[in-house]
Amino acid sequence: YPWDKSSLKSMPVDLQQFEKLDAYALKVNVKNSVEELVKALLKQARTDLEKVRAIWIWICHHIEYDVVGYHDKSQLSTKPIDVLQTGKSICEGYAGLFEQMCSIAGIQCMKLFGYSKGYGYKMGQTFTGDSDHAWNAVYLDGRWHLLDSTWGSGAVDDSFTKFTFRYNEFYFLTHPALFINNHFPDNSNWQLLKPTLTLKEFENNMLHNSNFYMLGLLTAHPETAVIHTVNGKASISVDCRSATLFTFKLRGTDEHGLMTLEKHGMKLDIYPQKTGSQKLQIFAKPSKASEGVYNCVLEYVVECESVDKATRFPKDLHQPVGPSWFTERQGFLRPSHSNPIIHTNDGRCSVTFTLGKDISVLASLHSDNSSLTEDMRRRHIMQIHRGNQIELKIHLPHAGNFVLKIYAKKKSDPGNYDYIFNYLITCLNTEVKWPAFPQSYSKWVEDYEIVEPLSGLLPANRNIQFKLKMQGIAKVLVQAENTYPLTQSRGYWEGTCNTSGCREVFVMVHENANHSFYSHVLKYEVENQ
């Protein structure tokens, strides 16, 4: 059975073509004999595949799992006629009824026994003794195919006291390469695989539940259920067919890792902050389901021998980190930094994007060990717009780990900014101590640009050179103790001002030569004398 991963089934199946047949099979209500039931179901089924489908749909929607009989075998019969008349059984009863119904319909069918990773399975456990599950193989189009009507019908709760019908398409003619993930037949020929897996490999292999495949996920690395950290770190990756959103929880939190979305999957590095064994869960949902819930698709046990104390992430860091197909969809194209972590040695960095139409951006800087006020979080970042390009110039106030959070909204929307994504910025140089950029006012227009001075804190008693790029205004003044006009040349306004005798310096513009009033656009502080 070659598996090209384009289908989860072992033969081509068009579910849309089954819609009428499925609806018919659901409504058939015959309880007096298995023969009569099959006769009624086959009225709408022509091909062998349709016959098997009708039987499958009927059993999955009419037989419930017998939680009482499972605990007390004396209350239980797995004979097909008893299963039909009571409407409940355990796996062996499902498989037995399926086998008999196929036999009446003239289709070869086998009842198979083996080990399963189903209810009560613990990660990494070993299997010994008698088999614990039963399922079927049916012969269609010249070869055998696998199905499990017990698992197709629904699920039992954690306390194993209540069964809920919840149809699962995954277990109908499942490809053997996927079926082996949680079904290990007593007779290895019935794996329908070459080469076959050993029991040890089955035990060690990662358990993928049906959500994993239903969401279009293909493979996960590592493939074993238990992961050992190396120098306090472990890495996990998932490959998938189409854009998928992921989250994770290690010991119930996503604080100790760094997850990035890839076009076809995700990568995750985790740094457990405690030694010993701990649970890692990975959740996913399709990218189109903006409101939908995340489903658990993978569970690992992480064995951590030593903690990497140096790698601590700020509390404000949100998963996933860095740019991705998701941020592209939000209008942030061609990022200068595709990596989620930006390292800077001198405490300065600059991130650029091409922006989609009509997007207004807000960015702020967060760190665990700094007392930045709301206003200062923004003032350590300067936005520079050139056409549809945006540059975020960042000057860090000190060394450490920072989160650069990026928010956006449509310019035409009056509402609030939405959080889009974040970067982690790291700086180890303890000498770093950049002042904030100057404060800008509402009249400072998006495509204005400060060439100098970039620092919002000017030295006292000095002549300071000003150079600003501003279009479409009549006059620019710098107001300190005295007022200094700037002169325009080639799109820039330039000049000097002296900072003696003042605590603040303002840049003001005259938007129209006919008006007499000026608007404040920038404010600088002056160092103490």
Active site residue 308: no
Residue in 60, 91, 109, 304 annotated catalytic: 91
Give the Cα separation of 338 and 220 in Å (integer).
23
Total Cβ atoms within 10 A of residue 106:
10
Pull the structure tokens for residue 192.
Answer: 């329908």
Active site residue 269: no
Give the Cα separation of 184 and 201 in Å (integer).
10
Spell out a b/e string for 441-454, using b for 16 or more CB atoms within 10 Å of the CB, else e: eeebeeebbbeebe
Residue in 62, 133, 183, 208 annotated catalytic: 133
Are 217 and 199 contacting, i.e. CB atoms less than 8 angstroms apart? no
147's CB contacts (< 8 A; 6+ apart) are: 56, 98, 135, 136, 137, 138, 171, 172, 173, 174
In the three-class reduction of DSSP (H, G, I as helix; E, B as strand; rest coil), residue 75 is classed as helix
Total Cβ atoms within 10 A of residue 482:
11
Give the Cα separation of 378 and 364 in Å (integer).
5
Total Cβ atoms within 10 A of residue 504:
13
Active site residue 133: yes
Residue in 148, 240, 304, 427 annotated catalytic: 148
- What is the residue whose two structure tokens read 């009560």? 120
Give the Cα separation of 193 and 190 in Å (integer).
8
| Alpha carbon 273 to chain centroid, angstroms | 22
Dihedral angle sign, alpha carbons of residues 446, 452, 458, 460 = negative
Are 443 and 521 contacting, i.e. CB atoms less than 8 angstroms apart? yes
Total Cβ atoms within 10 A of residue 87:
11
Say what the alpha-carbon torsion angle 418, 423, 428, 430 is, to the nearest 10 degrees.
-20
Give the Cα separation of 5 and 1 in Å (integer).
11
Which residues carry out catalysis? Answer: 91, 133, 148
